[in-house]
Structure formats: C-alpha cells, structure tokens
Amino acid sequence: MAKKRRPQTKAAGPRVANGEIPVVGAREPCPCGSGRRYKACHGREAAHAVTELVQRPFEGLPGECDWVALRELVPAATVELTLAEGLPEGVPSVTLATVLPMAWPALRRDNGTVLLGLQNDTPSGDISRDLADTLRRALTAEPGTPVAAERAPGDGPRLQDLLDPKGTFSPTLHEGFEFWLEDAANATGEVAASLERANAAAIPTARLTGVEAAYWCETPEKNHLRWVMSHPEEKLLDALARLHAAGASSLGENTRLVGSFRAHGLTVPVWDLPRGMSAEDTEKPAVDLAERLAEALATDAPLTPEQRRARGGLTNRQVTLS
C-alpha cells in the first residue's frame, strides 16, 4: 500500500515582502509566512543581529568597567543610579543590584524605591536595552511588587538614554544580600530561603581603591585579582606581554598573571594571589603595576620573539564570557 503523503504545512499568514518582519512572541508563527515559530525563524536572525551589533552594551555609561565587573564578577553589590530626567514622583531612589531575590529582574518596594537586577538573563543581545525596558516598567509598577521579564521593543531606549551621563557610578560591595529587604532579620518563606542560599554562595570580594575596576576575591585554595580594563584588547595584550617577558607582570612574590577573559567587549586580566594576601595587601602592588602597564601601553615598538611567545601564552589562556 502506498504511504500517505504528509500534507504540506500551510503558511501561517500572508508573507511579508520587501519590508521589515514585525516582532511577535517567540512561540507565535513568524510573520514571514514560513510556518515556523518566530524564535526559530526571523527571531533567531534578529537576536543574532543584535548580539553582533552590541559588543559593548555598557559603553558610554559612567563606570563602564565597573558595570562589567558587577555583571560578571561581583556577587553582592549595589549602586545608586542617577536618572537623566530626575526621579519620578513617588520614587525616592533607583538602585542597581547585582542580583535580586528569586532572580527578579526588578523590584519596587513598598516605599516606592526601585531595585534593578543586573545579573539576570536577558531576552536579546542588547543588555542595555533590556535593562532600560525593565527599569521603565519598574518606575511605574505598583509599590510592593516585583517586575517580570518581558521582551523589550527593538526601538526602545537603552540605559545610555535613561541615565545621567554625568552621574557617578560608585559600587558598594556587601558581604551578603541583606540589602534585598528593608527588614532582612524578619524575612520568611521563599524570600528567606533565597537569601540564605545566596549568602552561602557569595565569595568574599572587595574593590581596590587605588586603581579603577580591580576586584579582589577570596576562594578556598587561593585568592585572585580580576581587573576590568577598557584599553583596546590587542594593545593591552601587547603591553601585558611586554611586562610578562620582562618578569614585571606579577603583583609580588607568589603572585602570577594567569591569563584573561573577555566580557562585554572589555578585557579582564586575572592574577593568582597567595591565600593569605588580602585586598589591602594588594593595593600598593596594583598601583605599581598600573604605572608599569601605562609605560608599556605607550610603547609602539614591535614585540620581540620573547614577547611574542609571552603574548601567545596569554592569548591561549583567554576565555570569552559574553
């Protein structure tokens, strides 16, 4: 017996010709008429295009390097944000937080203050646009409610549009996540359980004061310094290679430059430190290294064979986080 032919899938609707494909829900039929869901058709192309377009989502914001650090490195921190148009009526303050309870994108407290979470997954490749959309919705949310994740309009504002470009960005690091709540001591239920889990997983971290965007952290076996830098990647790697080849890339005895990673368009060199080397102990060596690095960055001479080998070693140990 001849097998039945499977009927051809009909187009979900009229095809869009010679125009932009509208944005619809991820599970809805794609407006192009392919019969596939949007997320598997033009939605995938749109997300890829945004990812390719926005390699440095925090570029142009005050404290770009610290934005990257708080997004990728720091467990518990807050920063008070300054809006370009001032605070709306009924909103006493807006605070950026590394994470919020139960991974809420944002929260408007009972007193009207807004907390914006930074480390959440975002639906597009433009973190800045996604965070700006969440912030706008949080500013008008009912007091005492969390703000859910939603797809941001493709033409919506970005953080660079909402925040004061002349504002400061001064992170405050915390040992735990008690900043989530106005009365953390009396937390109960899921919020209390989330707070306990988060505190147990937090790695002790400190921001150095003598240099910009350098973060010390303590781990069971060794400590680390992770330093977010905005220098062009190729030039920075050349400079670090010059120092490494000269034996001048460390932060002192028993410390070592072990490599770097890329995050949101910036390069983050990483040093291993002895277990007993505190953040305070790291301050002066970091300042001294910054001076040596500035000299190396100012050099345009071709790399020597030894420096090229050092650079190759650094490149081989480089990881991309985003």
Separation between Cα atoms, residue 106 and residue 117, nearest integer Å: 5
> Given the DSSP bridges, would you call strands 256-263 and 114-117 parallel, antiparallel or unpaired?
unpaired
According to the model, what pLDDT value does residue 185 have? 73
DSSP three-state, residue 319: strand
Average pLDDT per consecutive 10 residues, the chain (322 residues; last block may be shorter) = 40 46 71 79 61 82 98 97 97 97 92 96 90 97 94 90 96 94 77 85 96 96 96 97 98 96 96 96 98 97 97 88 68
The pTM assigned to this predicted structure is 0.82
According to the model, what pLDDT value does residue 24 have? 64
According to the model, what pLDDT value does residue 51 have? 45
Separation between Cα atoms, residue 149 and residue 121, nearest integer Å: 9
